[in-house]
Amino acid sequence: MAVSSPLLALAGCDRSDAGPARRPADVAYRVGRETGQPFPVLLSQRDRPAPYSRPLPLPAPLRPVSSTATEDVYELVARAGEAQILDDVATPVWGYDGQFPGPLFESRRGRTMRVRLRNELPVPIVRHLHGGHTPHRHDGYPLDYVVPYDGGDHHLHPGGEVHHGEFEYVYPLDQRAGLLWYHDHRMDFSGPQVWRGLVGLHLHRDDEEAALGLPAGERELPLLVCDRSFGPDGQLLYPSLDQELRHTPGVLRDFADGVLGDTVLVNGVHAPFHEVRQGSYRLRIAVASNARHYRIGLDRPPASGEPFWQIGTDGGLMAHARPLRTFLMAPAERVDVVVDFSGYPVGSRVRLTNLSGGRGTTDLVEFRVTGPDDRPVWRPPARLSEIERLDPAGAVRTRRFSFTKVPTAAGPTFQISHHMFSADRVAARPRQGDVEIWEFTTDQQHPVHVHNAHFQVLDDPGPLAWKDVVSLGAKDRRRIITRFDSYRGRYLLHCHNLEHEDMGMMANYDIR
């Protein structure tokens, strides 16, 4: 990574109609280049901890405050807190319960989850359960703000439902098992608010999965992967035009294509280690980066066979397992793999690695093999999950969406089919129950996400699987097929590069 000069030029697009652009105070943002990354990296101004010096944090699932035969109620407070990420200084964060990442949620199909969210931050927030099939009012639409408990002066776009101080999100969770995650989705400011810490994991279970005897308990490791950069005082750096996140959306022009941090964290720690036995472990990986893509592998593949059995993806278990050597992950994607450490001698150190990373962004987790396991190695059955293959011949139509960056005098915007997001525009009105094909095309890399509808990627040679993000490269074209069998109402389709999203790359679709 090469260091370049401090950034002086400030630019961006101010498309809010209130408030002056505030310049980031007292921090000069420095850009670097990392081999293989399509755009500049935001450089830290403080040393990151030595890799493999701290254990992997594995938080216990959050406990409900009350439960009935069919429901569990949780309380969550968005507030300022501190995270111990660097060696000698605490990092201020905005987190759910003040933590970064937020608490782990665990749910079971058939039980409704209620999450009472109280906002003690100085800005409006929105909670979205990514991968959830959720009634519109609870989905975390970007204009359905939960404004601060204390009030305050904020620019709120019209078009949603405003909640004062708190809101109870109801998640029926009548859906197959899978790794979901939750994060902020505030209009114009998702990028900085997720970056500051408003993100967490959610494991959803069902009977089909439970019957497989997958590695569980301490042999199941939820791993939230993201990249961040740190300022001279250990603070999280993010090149917002308005550091108070009140009025003006957007980032300094050098970072308009996406903010890449120079330090990768797993469960909030840079390059942690974790002790394992010589047996099978299930890694449930979610990429919560704003813009960074990963290629993940082991630094020492086992002597025989491939290191991973992939068993699942965004929408839970795949039809059958596949052996993998490495795998790509775009922002918001999830991968579920089983790793077998039985071939490694006691004392081995095996590293989960980002093969497309540079300094600070390569090391993920070091597994230290401590002794024999008392359980048999997990072997995949011929079939993992019952998945209906959606037939393109049954699709009632094909819709096309282009994802493109469009320069304007004020700075770049990001558009879907030639429109920036507007609450009033509906890009598609599928009928509930219909099967449709959606075709996406791109100019540059865009990870495309659809709310409230899992889909199958057409022309994909892998095992049949349900996805909610499809990663497109530059000048790419992918087709997905889905049946709109979840709730009716207005939902989002958007790019999950959060800087693109904040600069307009979202569209409404309405299930009738």
Q: Which residues bind ligand C2O (CB under 6 A)?
A: 128, 130, 183, 185, 332, 449, 451, 492, 494, 496
Residue 482 in contact with residue 455, Cβ under 8 Å?
yes
Residue 74 in contact with residue 116, Cβ under 8 Å?
yes
The site partner of 185 among Cu ion, ligand C2O, none (C-beta below 5 to 8 Å per kind) is: ligand C2O
Which phi and psi (to 5°) does residue 2 adopt?
A: -105, 140
Total of chain residues touching Cu ion, rule CB under 5 A: 4
3-state secondary structure of 254: helix
Q: Which CB atom, from 285 or from 469, has the smaller least distance to Cu ion?
A: 469
- CA dist list (Å): 396 to 314, 392, 432: 25, 9, 12
E strands in 162-290: 163-164, 166-171, 178-184, 199-205, 220-228, 263-266, 269-270, 273-278, 280-287
Q: Which CB atom, from 277 or from 446, has the smaller least distance to Cu ion?
A: 446
Among 198, 495, 498, 503, binds Cu ion (CB under 5 A): 495
The site partner of 446 among ligand C2O, Cu ion, none (C-beta below 5 to 8 Å per kind) is: Cu ion
The site partner of 451 among Cu ion, ligand C2O, none (C-beta below 5 to 8 Å per kind) is: ligand C2O
Q: Which CB atom, from 46 or from 185, has the smaller least distance to Cu ion?
A: 185
The site partner of 495 among Cu ion, ligand C2O, none (C-beta below 5 to 8 Å per kind) is: Cu ion
User: Which residue minimizes CB distance to ligand C2O?
Assistant: 130
Measured from the CB of residue 414, what is the shortest distance to Cu ion in angstroms?
Answer: 6
Q: Which CB atom, from 281 or from 509, has the smaller least distance to Cu ion?
A: 509
Q: Which CB atom, from 322 or from 494, has the smaller least distance to Cu ion?
A: 494
Task: Determine, following the binding rule CB under 5 A, whether residue 293 of this chain makes contact with Cu ion.
Answer: no
Q: Which CB atom, from 248 or from 290, has the smaller least distance to ligand C2O?
A: 290
Among 497, 498, 506, 511, binds Cu ion (CB under 5 A): 497
Measured from the CB of residue 416, what is the shortest distance to Cu ion in angstroms?
Answer: 9
Q: What is the C-alpha separation between 309 and 322, in angstroms, rounded?
A: 5
Measured from the CB of residue 289, what is the shortest distance to ligand C2O in angstroms?
Answer: 12
Measured from the CB of residue 277, what is the shortest distance to ligand C2O in angstroms?
Answer: 34
3-state secondary structure of 190: helix
The site partner of 500 among ligand C2O, Cu ion, none (C-beta below 5 to 8 Å per kind) is: Cu ion
Q: Please name the amino acid found at residue 508.
A: N
Residue 192 in contact with residue 245, Cβ under 8 Å?
yes
Measured from the CB of residue 269, what is the shortest distance to ligand C2O in angstroms?
Answer: 23
The site partner of 136 among ligand C2O, Cu ion, none (C-beta below 5 to 8 Å per kind) is: none
The site partner of 13 among Cu ion, ligand C2O, none (C-beta below 5 to 8 Å per kind) is: none
54: DSSP letter: S
Q: Which CB atom, from 169 or from 414, has the smaller least distance to Cu ion?
A: 414
Pairing verdict, β 280-287 and 273-278: unpaired
Instruction: Put residue 194 in one of left, alpha, beta given phi > 0 → left and psi -120 to 50 → alpha.
Output: alpha
* Tokens standing for residue 275: 């002790």
Task: Lay out the sheet containing 397-408: strands in order across.
Answer: 411-416, 397-408, 435-442, 477-483, 456-457
Positive or negative torsion for Cα 354, 359, 365, 369: positive
Each residue 420-449 as x (binds Cu ion by CB under 5 A) or -, in order, gives --------------------------x---
Task: Determine, following the binding rule CB under 5 A, whether residue 500 of this chain makes contact with Cu ion.
Answer: yes
Residues 6+ apart with CB under 8 A from 265: 85, 225, 226, 227, 228
Pairing verdict, β 273-278 and 308-313: unpaired
Q: What is the C-alpha separation between 310 and 229, in angstroms, rounded?
A: 31
Which phi and psi (to 5°) does residue 254 adopt?
A: -60, -20
Which among 95-103, 226-234, 424-432, 488-496 is the span making contact with Cu ion, rule CB under 5 A? 488-496
Measured from the CB of residue 449, what is the shortest distance to ligand C2O in angstroms?
Answer: 5
Tell how far CA 184 is from the center of its chain: 10
Measured from the CB of residue 397, what is the shortest distance to Cu ion in angstroms?
Answer: 25
Q: Which CB atom, from 332 or from 350, has the smaller least distance to ligand C2O?
A: 332
Site of interaction with Cu ion (CB under 5 A): 446, 495, 497, 500
